[in-house]
Amino acid sequence: MAYDLQLSNVYKTYDNGTPAVIDFNIDVNKGEFIAFLGPSGCGKSTTLRMISGFETVTSGDLMIRGKRVNDQLPEKRPTSMIFQNYALFPHMNVRQNVRFGLEVKNMPRAEADGKVDQILEKLGLSDIAEMPTSRLSGGQRQRIALARSLVVEPDILLLDEPLGALDANLRKSIQNELKLLQRDLGITFVFVTHAQSEALALSDRIVVMNAGKVEQISPPRELYTQPRSQFVARFIGSNTILPGTVKGAKDGIVILDTAFGPLAGANRGQSDANVGREMSIVLPAEAVDLVPADVDEAEMRASFGSNTIPCTVESLQIVGHIMHMVVRFSDGQTINIEGHVDKYRNRIKAGGSAFVAWRSASATVIDH
Ligand SMILES: Nc1ncnc2c1ncn2[C@@H]1O[C@H](COP(=O)(O)OP(=O)(O)OP(=O)(O)O)[C@@H](O)[C@H]1O
């Protein structure tokens, strides 16, 4: 079966010469929730606008359900777009706003009314159907924008920072609704956001972009635990980055010579991890074990090999069942570690010595 959406070697250069999107490649399955995540100006909105047809593609292929749509007008594409400001018509009531998209398509009135009623019901808007949109709250306006985009039954819904204007609490509850709605409808969502937590909470896969380029496309957990570049390692989650020089490799594990001695991480597709190359080990916070300094050294080596770095426990704090610790290496760098209280209580003490330790397979070796 064809993918719902495919971008193959897609580039966008604006008329003023700005290279906004550079060699974007992705295959999206039907019903996937994809987020574009990255700092301001990295090319997220430009990519979304190319998919919608509001922006032209400079080169490459844009396919929807197996059909090349580079030259197809926006209104001919099976896509619908929601903007951050919702772009509702203030002089129309809720029902009229939602029906607008169907009127543009010249759908017979009775059929249109049926579809509008259905979507208003689904989104809990039936009670306010006759109200002018200017009198409604941010959350309600957001839902109307959603209803207006969905009533035309698109194959792909494109959302450009749709929750950006909402306060934190409302944002959280609409996030949940959005995810449930997407599952229920089974249509493909492509979502642009600055907010890491939003992308992690909602998406099946996240596309991390930086300066027009795709840095990594991964499911949220993988992005968190296996960042593949310096940019992603610094941008997502809480990672410790340990630079070094490749000393050797065996069975998918690369050993680096570092300021803390030989340390290892997994090679996840780095074809150039050759001896002598400068690379870094990325250690996600959740891969770290903190081992008390009085542990039996042979036992520690058996579990972690040479992946141990002596440290001092600067502080610890218990919140619920979780112990939060800050430790300092001899070079002054500090890292945050957390773990279940039962694991660390009575073993780790503030001001005491310990080892930061990890299993090679839970760290990743990346380019310097
Ligand atoms: N119409 C345009 N003409 C020229 N350059 C543009 C145009 N629109 C965007 N750009 C530039 O293209 C690059 C990518 O912009 P884009 O809006 O896609 O980024 P973004 O990641 O969506 O940013 P934000 O999160 O701030 O919306 C930026 O350098 C931007 O200045």
For residue 283, give the 3-state DSSP assignment: strand
Quick one: pLDDT band at residue 276, thresholds 50, 70, 90? very high
Lowest mean pLDDT among 149-153, 243-247, 276-280: 149-153
pLDDT at position 318: 93
Q: Give the rounded percent of residues in the chain with a pLDDT score beyond 90.
A: 66
* Atom of ligand 1 at shortest range from CA of 49: 18
Ligand 1 contacts CB of residue 49 (under 6 A): no
- Is the ipTM higher than 0.85? The answer is yes
pLDDT over 70 at 251, yes or no: yes
Which range, 28-42, 123-137, 333-347, is most confident?
28-42
Sequence spans of domains, the chain: 5-225, 238-367
Per this entry, what is the length of the chain? 368
Contact between 222 and 67 (Cβ < 8 Å): no
Ligand 1 contacts CB of residue 17 (under 6 A): no
Give residue-wise pLDDT tens across range 179-202: 888 888 899 999 999 889 889 999
Q: What is the rounded distance in angstroms from the CA atom of residue 22 to the CA atom of residue 12?
A: 7
Q: What is the rounded distance in angstroms from the CA atom of residue 33 to the CA atom of residue 143?
A: 18
* Atom of ligand 1 at shortest range from CA of 14: 4
pLDDT at position 85: 67
pLDDT at position 159: 92
pLDDT over 90 at 258, yes or no: yes
pLDDT at position 5: 98
Ligand 1 contacts CB of residue 16 (under 6 A): yes
Ligand 1 contacts CB of residue 18 (under 6 A): yes
Could you tell me the distance, in angstroms and rounded to a whole number, from the CA of residue 83 to the centre of ligand 1?
A: 15
Contact between 209 and 42 (Cβ < 8 Å): yes
Arithmetic mean of pLDDT over the chain: 91
* Atom of ligand 1 at shortest range from CA of 212: 14
CATH topology of domain 5-225: Rossmann fold (3.40.50)
pLDDT at position 280: 96
Could you tell me the distance, in angstroms and rounded to a whole number, from the CA of residue 48 to the centre of ligand 1?
A: 11
Residue nearest atom 4 of ligand 1, based on CA coordinates: 14
Ligand 1 contacts CB of residue 56 (under 6 A): no
Ligand 1 contacts CB of residue 14 (under 6 A): yes
Q: What is the rounded distance in angstroms from the CA atom of residue 80 to the CA atom of residue 51?
A: 10
Average pLDDT over residues 63-70: 96
pLDDT over 70 at 161, yes or no: yes
pTM: 0.89
pLDDT at position 1: 64
Q: What radius of gyration, in Å, describes the C-alpha atoms of the chain?
A: 25
Could you tell me the distance, in angstroms and rounded to a whole number, from the CA of residue 44 to the centre of ligand 1?
A: 8
Q: What is the rounded distance in angstroms from the CA atom of residue 242 to the CA atom of residue 230?
A: 11
For residue 201, give the 3-state DSSP assignment: helix
Could you tell me the distance, in angstroms and rounded to a whole number, from the CA of residue 232 to the centre of ligand 1?
A: 20
pLDDT at position 141: 84
Q: What is the rounded distance in angstroms from the CA atom of residue 217 to the CA atom of residue 64?
A: 19
* Probe residue for ligand 1, chosen from 12, 13, 18 as the CB with the greatest number of ligand atoms within 8 Å: 18
pLDDT over 90 at 317, yes or no: yes
Could you tell me the distance, in angstroms and rounded to a whole number, from the CA of residue 47 to the centre of ligand 1?
A: 10
pLDDT at position 88: 81
Residue nearest atom 7 of ligand 1, based on CA coordinates: 14
Average pLDDT over residues 251-272: 93
Could you tell me the distance, in angstroms and rounded to a whole number, from the CA of residue 172 to the centre of ligand 1?
A: 27
Ligand 1 contacts CB of residue 42 (under 6 A): yes
Lowest mean pLDDT among 106-110, 193-197, 317-321: 106-110
Q: What is the rounded distance in angstroms from the CA atom of residue 155 to the CA atom of residue 52?
A: 12
pLDDT over 90 at 366, yes or no: yes
pLDDT over 70 at 86, yes or no: no
Please tell me if the domain spanning 5-225 has the same topology as the one spanning 238-367: no
Ligand 1 contacts CB of residue 169 (under 6 A): no
Q: Give the rounded percent of residues in the chain with a pLDDT score beyond 70.
A: 99
Number of CB atoms found within 10 A of residue 346's CB: 8
Could you tell me the distance, in angstroms and rounded to a whole number, from the CA of residue 140 to the centre of ligand 1?
A: 29
CATH topology of domain 238-367: OB fold (Dihydrolipoamide Acetyltransferase, E2P) (2.40.50)
Ligand 1 contacts CB of residue 230 (under 6 A): no
